[in-house]
Structure 1
Amino acid sequence: MSKKLKVVRVVTASYVVPWHLNNTLKRISADFDVCVVGQNVSANQALYPAIQFVDIDINRKYSVFKDFTALISLYRFLRKYQPDVVHSIMPKAGLLTTIAGCLARVPVRIHTFTGQTWATQKGFSKSFFYAIDRFINFLNQRCLTDSLSQSDFLLQHGISYQSQALPVLSKGSLSGVDLSRFNHQDLAPAAEKLRQSLKITKTHIVLSFIARKTRDKGAIDMLHAFARLPNPDHNIKLLFIGPDEDGEIANLRKTKPTLFNDVIEVGHVNNHEVYLAITDVLCLPSHREGFGSIVIDAAAMGVPTVGSRIPGLIDSVSEDETGILYEFGNIPEFVQALELIIADQSLRQTMGLAAKSRVDQYFSADILYAALRDFYITTSATYQK
């Protein structure tokens, strides 16, 4: 029996592990020896006993001193551990891993692009972050994206593999959907308990925003659009879920409290499947997105999505089949889309059924993991000859 390849996955912070690597880590130890590196990632050790975790302070925010310190720590770890493959996600982790992996001479270096910070920026910031993505793509042997439209977008901007669009696993997504976890029938008791605790009845129409509460994720757009919806009987509720990383939502609550009428605020959760079980429509008004994993999580529960028409979301949402897309940043059009789907229960049900069928066909965790496993094996065979 051949020796297992040693794979290192590098992320920024601890929360990335259950959100983006969970399905992979539950399957990967049968095929590879795996270590996950990032800020406070060891907090996840009990969830994945077969995986090794190493804490290195890779902060999402840029700091010359802290980033240099993290780079040195990452380089020293890679030199000692000597992996066959190092694979990063998230922009900061990608940059530091690219440099450390080269210096440590890791045979196979891979990065997955999950949305471009420079896509919505201007001036120096746009040029700077664009240059970083080109640098990452240049120094790694292979790069992936988590959506077909993102690969096309990068190709149009000169980021490619041998002048072709960067590859995507299956039809997209980082790790697919665990269909056993996102199962409406199994979640029914927990969902009913949650309804009662939030004082939501089955007569309410529940919209959910489940993401970091930042401008890039469209949190501000979400509040403004919801406030414009006709809701005289207060039968429409918004579950506003996720961490307020920049404190902007807290400030809005003080300065514009009317934006929060009929809004049920929830912070970071580890059981968003239960919240999706009481959701009628998922809302994702992102300004930029890699793929929109929450969309297929919702779809597995038979929940349609209203989202912005941007690279990434045009892959996770099949427009007018599994959800409705609107022009990015166009609040009136967002409101119009919400009014349409709120008013038509039959439309919600039809789109929800189509969404679930599409997930079963293309986006299950087993399908995505099989594609990742094959990618590691074939890429390693190519570059370790």
Structure 2
Amino acid sequence: MRVRVMRVVTRLNVGGPAMQVSTLLRGLDPDRYDQRLYAGHVAPGEADYHALHGLDLPVHRVPALGRAVRAGGDCRALAELAAHMRRFRPHIVHTHTAKAGTLGRLAALVSGVPVRVHTFHGHLLHGYFPPVKTWLVTGVERLLALGTHRLVAVGGHVRDDLLRAGVGRAGQYRVIMPGTTIGPLPPRADARRALGLPPDGPVIAYVGRVTAIKGPERLVDVARRVLAAHPGATFVVCGEGDRLTATRAAAADLGPAVRFVGWRADVSTVYAAADLVMLTSDNEGTPVCLIEAALAGVPAVATRVGAVSDVVADGRTGVLCRPDAAELAEATLALLDDAAARARMAAAALRLSAERFGPERLVADTDRLYSAIAHERGWWPAH
């Protein structure tokens, strides 16, 4: 028999969850799994991963399943998800991201779905909310974990943070790292020409959402410090978000040394143009932008938060710092002045990322998870 998997994600904005969901929909064996994807719409101003990269994938839209929390809309989304579950009759409901994890698991409980799985692509325990709201979010996750059969974390640090917060039991968790690929890399000169960048001089790229948790003000501060010592450098910001306008304003006096190129379907062009990739976040799961950079052979300078250290081997494939602009700028300048170190890190990043973060590994790990559940439940015969 084919195991029916209902996959629920809040929205398919550009980022790790959408990329992983798409990889699983394409990669899991259709003779073994009947998968369906349910998602809300992206918010105004957010880039749509489905439109950019996933038009081949069918998506069942749940209009009220958006990022914003509204009692009336959330109740409608819960009822709609439950109705979909009663029609599809999934063996497994697998939820991704926080809001979908809450509504999807509740709908699965009331609909009698046999198995509930949730993936933490990060968590909301640090840096997102004031203390009282964080306490409430943590309490909700603890309660939901009681009714969840498997909890998937995208990195060991994410799992450990959640366990320390009392979310779930160690035996419930499986660590499944992200898996992805990037398109062909154009020659550096072509990439820089396509982005309107100077042909010479170092380029530092930021790829991701421009939103508060990502530290865009810190990014501008780093750029200011680096440019004071390296005026020939250029920073490229590839992304959009609710802090984009404010970030542009903060960087206005830096002129063309900080370029905003929006979301690009050909993100490989950005990596091909770059000497370094930067991440300035206050909190992260396992950032796909750093995986993509490693697959492109680009070293990283990043904050040591969440599961970033599962991606960047400090001193081998990049440099990890505290969330401090001065420390990030110092590390950036040191690498810009040491071409040999950058070359060593680039080679190590290519080698390690190919081993750990290919899409085939993500699909194989998820297949093992579902297979174990199917054998436990008697859906498939025992080995």
Query: Hey, what's the Cα distance between the residues in 1 that align with 2:372 and 2:166?
Result: 25
Paired residue for 2:291? 296
- SS of the equivalent of 2:126 reads helix
The answer as to 2:92 corresponding to 1:85 is yes
Aligned CA distance change for structure 1 residues 40 and 219 (closer, same or farther; 3 Å): same
Query: Hey, what's the Cα distance between the residues in 2 that align with 1:337 and 1:255?
Result: 22
**Could you tell me which amino acid in structure 2 is paired with residue 4 of structure 1?**
R
Deviation at 1:343, TM superposition (A): 1.2
Deviation at 1:160, TM superposition (A): 3.2
The answer as to 2:8 corresponding to 1:23 is no
Picking from 318, 323, 331, the partner of 2:313 is: 318
Paired residue for 2:66? 59
Aligned CA distance change for structure 1 residues 252 and 259 (closer, same or farther; 3 Å): farther
The answer as to 2:211 corresponding to 1:214 is yes
Deviation at 1:100, TM superposition (A): 0.5
- SS of the equivalent of 1:356 reads helix
Q: Does structure 2 retain, via aligned residues, the 8 Å contact 1:111–1:136?
A: no
Paired residue for 1:133? 141
**Which deviates further from its counterpart, 29-38 or 279-288?**
29-38
Q: Does structure 1 retain, via aligned residues, the 8 Å contact 2:185–2:296?
A: no
Query: Hey, what's the Cα distance between the residues in 2 that align with 1:43 and 1:206?
Result: 25
Picking from 365, 371, 374, the partner of 2:368 is: 374
Q: Does structure 1 retain, via aligned residues, the 8 Å contact 2:5–2:90?
A: yes
Picking from 225, 245, 264, the partner of 1:228 is: 225
Q: How does 1:353-368 map to 2 (within 5 A)?
A: 353-368=347-362
Q: Does structure 2 retain, via aligned residues, the 8 Å contact 1:195–1:278?
A: yes
**Which deviates further from its counterpart, 264-273 or 143-152?**
264-273
| TM-score normalised to structure 2 length | 0.89
**Could you tell me which amino acid in structure 2 is paired with residue 33 of structure 1?**
D
Picking from 9, 21, 25, the partner of 2:7 is: 9
Query: Hey, what's the Cα distance between the residues in 1 that align with 2:204 and 2:339?
Result: 13
Query: Hey, what's the Cα distance between the residues in 1 that align with 2:232 and 2:327?
Result: 22
Paired residue for 1:97? 104
Q: Does structure 2 retain, via aligned residues, the 8 Å contact 1:147–1:290?
A: yes
**Could you tell me which amino acid in structure 1 is paired with residue 369 of structure 2?**
F
Query: Hey, what's the Cα distance between the residues in 2 that align with 1:233 and 1:275?
Result: 20
Query: Hey, what's the Cα distance between the residues in 2 that align with 1:165 and 1:228?
Result: 45
Paired residue for 1:307? 302
**Could you tell me which amino acid in structure 2 is paired with residue 200 of structure 1?**
L
Picking from 159, 162, 181, the partner of 1:151 is: 159
Deviation at 1:275, TM superposition (A): 1.2
- Give CA-to-partner distance per residue, 1:66-113, whole Å, 9 cap, x none: 111111111111111111111111111111111001111111110001
Q: Does structure 1 retain, via aligned residues, the 8 Å contact 2:282–2:305?
A: yes
Question: Quick one: percent identity of the two aligned structures?
Answer: 23
Q: How does 1:207-286 map to 2 (within 5 A)?
A: 207-231=204-228, 234-244=231-241, 246=242, 248-254=243-249, 257-258=252-253, 261-286=256-281
Q: Cα RMSD over matched residues?
A: 2.3
- SS of the equivalent of 2:174 reads coil
**Could you tell me which amino acid in structure 2 is paired with residue 143 of structure 1?**
L
Q: Does structure 2 retain, via aligned residues, the 8 Å contact 1:39–1:56?
A: yes
Query: Hey, what's the Cα distance between the residues in 2 that align with 1:177 and 1:100?
Result: 30
Deviation at 1:338, TM superposition (A): 1.0
Query: Hey, what's the Cα distance between the residues in 2 that align with 1:220 and 1:361?
Result: 34
Aligned CA distance change for structure 1 residues 15 and 123 (closer, same or farther; 3 Å): closer
The number of residues matched between the two structures is: 368
**Could you tell me which amino acid in structure 1 is paired with residue 326 of structure 2?**
P
Query: Hey, what's the Cα distance between the residues in 2 that align with 1:146 and 1:97?
Result: 19
- Give CA-to-partner distance per residue, 1:283-339, whole Å, 9 cap, x none: 111111111111111101111111111121011111111110001x21111111111
- Unaligned segments of structure 2, at least 5 residues: 43-47
| TM-score normalised to structure 1 length | 0.88
Paired residue for 1:197? 194
- SS of the equivalent of 1:37 reads strand
**Could you tell me which amino acid in structure 1 is paired with residue 125 of structure 2?**
W
Query: Hey, what's the Cα distance between the residues in 2 that align with 1:95 and 1:292?
Result: 22
Deviation at 1:145, TM superposition (A): 0.4
**Could you tell me which amino acid in structure 2 is paired with residue 36 of structure 1?**
L
- Give CA-to-partner distance per residue, 1:217-254, whole Å, 9 cap, x none: 1222111111111457742111101112x2x3313434
Query: Hey, what's the Cα distance between the residues in 1 that align with 2:134 and 2:90?
Result: 33
- Give CA-to-partner distance per residue, 1:332-353, whole Å, 9 cap, x none: 1111111111111111111111
